[in-house]
A and B are shown apart, each in its own frame.
Chain A
């Protein structure tokens, strides 16, 4: 009897979390005790803002673009559907790193060229200077690349969400005289979004991790600062410990929030 209760108690404990928090506390403890760790912490922390900005801005923009693409994918209009499927398949078939290089070194010059062509009269008059690739900072290019890449994943999530809504809901809305757009906006999308909320939140965790890719463009995020610091001090072990610690703090806590959200939604819909 007593043994059973002990077993149940231990089964309720998320041991992986205990281990993670333990390791986290040990590393923080070591860091505070150790002068060189304190310095590394301070250095890498300077990249925290850049990492978060890149992640949050790219995520917000890709939510918006992904919603539009997802709606187009579920549209009744064939050209819209085809165009959005084309984009999604193209982008999902590329490694994120390649998208990043492509936008940074092909997309940015191309964008400058397009802007120059569009604004040619103004530039000719000397009202504004001609655009050059270097007008777009690497951070901007990185955000653009992550946005374009993640929009494709998020579009697929929205599409799945739209398809998960019972067809009877659409019929009922139509039978009440609602137009297609009213039905989508008032009946389908609210339910679809709710159904895919956990999946959307998981994409935020994923984009935080993928934001480390921007370091290849020299953007000063956590990873880039760590890379440069380690290379100049040869303290690879300590530096990458700190870098990993920063990412884990973000991702593990966010994943736990997503799980709590999921549990809440499940409870609400089974009530």
Chain B
């Protein structure tokens, strides 16, 4: 299987590198195949969120290269619009546009970025919202929905751009326990449909149900990776073992 997202020797430092800035990514290489679901775990500050954010270039790398399919993410003249159409993102705090209805949230980007006619964009948005179980909430504003509903709407919004891959940055961390499942169910269904996914999350249930591979990061490096079974039941590295004991 050929790699769809290729990250090679990625380095990203926050703050002034000369006076002990933080190396969020310290030479990370990772390939994600088409249709693969990769779960990224690790302690806070290990660089896992940064790893997602450099893939759609919300953050720029200091050095290293990233490709999504044939599109270079890191080239100086990279086509940002194309990259972000390729890889959609779902955020921990949902970030739905607060001044718009759910339907408008989902149909805005297709309309103004991809120039889809308004009626068509709305129709497509309604279909996507139905798919995530929100067909009765189209005219609601984000603040009128529960956290779980908001996150499902945010997933629909990302899907509306027909992305080839989705990046999930701790999608359930801001949710009450009873809402986590409804979001994970949507994500699992996407994984089963063959979506390429990079997911930063510590949800073991999701890992076992949907992840093809789990990557453990610490201090800006990939320490260990393997199938969920391998990593959770029989980690090779001491640091991985410590961490997994903590989250189980």
A, B: real partners? yes
Q: Any chain A CB within 8 A of the CB of B12?
A: no
Q: Using a Cβ cutoff of 8 Å, how many contacts connect chains A and B?
A: 63
Cβ–Cβ contact B93 & A176, under 8 A = no
CB-CB under 8 A from B97, the residues of chain A are: 169, 172-173, 187, 191
Q: 1/0 per position for B65-106, CB-CB distance to A under 8 A?
A: 000000000000000111011001101010111110000000
Q: In the complex, what's the smallest C-beta–C-beta distance from B14 to chain A, in angstroms? A: 15
Q: Tell me the count of chain A residues lying within 8 A, CB to CB, of chain B.
A: 20
Q: Any chain B CB within 8 A of the CB of A82?
A: no
Q: Any chain B CB within 8 A of the CB of A8?
A: no
Kindly state the separation between the CA atoms of A166 and B98 in the bound complex, as whole angstroms.
10
Q: In the complex, what's the smallest C-beta–C-beta distance from A101 to chain B, in angstroms? A: 42
CB-CB under 8 A from B108, the residues of chain A are: 176, 186
Given contact pairs A177-B80, A178-B112, A182-B112, A172 touches B99 in the complex (Cβ within 8 A): no
CB-CB under 8 A from A179, the residues of chain B are: 81
Q: Any chain A CB within 8 A of the CB of B144?
A: yes
Cβ–Cβ contact A191 & B98, under 8 A = yes
Cβ–Cβ contact B112 & A172, under 8 A = no
Cβ–Cβ contact B96 & A172, under 8 A = yes
Q: In the complex, what's the smallest C-beta–C-beta distance from A76 to chain B, in angstroms? A: 14
Kindly state the separation between the CA atoms of A190 and B5 in the bound complex, as whole angstroms.
35
Q: Any chain A CB within 8 A of the CB of B158?
A: yes
CB-CB under 8 A from B93, the residues of chain A are: 168
Cβ–Cβ contact A178 & B144, under 8 A = no
Q: Tell me the count of chain B residues lying within 8 A, CB to CB, of chain A.
A: 27
Binding site of A, secondary structure by majority: helix, strand, loop or mixed? helix
Which of B58, B89, B96, B109 has most chain A Cβ within 10 Å?
Answer: B109
Q: Any chain A CB within 8 A of the CB of B152?
A: no
Kindly state the separation between the CA atoms of A172 and B113 in the bound complex, as whole angstroms.
13
Cβ–Cβ contact A168 & B109, under 8 A = no
CB-CB under 8 A from A271, the residues of chain B are: 143-144
Cβ–Cβ contact B56 & A175, under 8 A = yes
Q: Any chain A CB within 8 A of the CB of B161?
A: yes
Kindly state the separation between the CA atoms of A187 and B97 in the bound complex, as whole angstroms.
7
Q: 1/0 per position for A236-271, CB-CB distance to B under 8 A?
A: 000000000000000000000000000000000101
CB-CB under 8 A from A186, the residues of chain B are: 108, 112
Q: Any chain B CB within 8 A of the CB of A235?
A: no
Kindly state the separation between the CA atoms of A179 and B79 in the bound complex, as whole angstroms.
11
Q: In the complex, what's the smallest C-beta–C-beta distance from A189 to chain B, in angstroms? A: 10
Cβ–Cβ contact B161 & A177, under 8 A = yes
Q: Any chain A CB within 8 A of the CB of B157?
A: yes
Partner of B113, one of A168, A169, A178, A187: A178
Interface residues of A (CB under 8 A from B): 166, 168-169, 171-179, 182, 186-187, 190-191, 194, 269, 271
18 contacts between A and B (CB under 8 A): A169-B95, A171-B95, A173-B109, A174-B84, A175-B58, A175-B91, A176-B84, A176-B109, A176-B158, A177-B81, A177-B85, A177-B109, A177-B114, A177-B161, A178-B109, A178-B113, A187-B97, A190-B99
| 5 extra A-B contacts, CB within 8 A, seeds A175-B56, A177-B82 | A171-B58, A172-B91, A174-B84, A175-B88, A177-B113
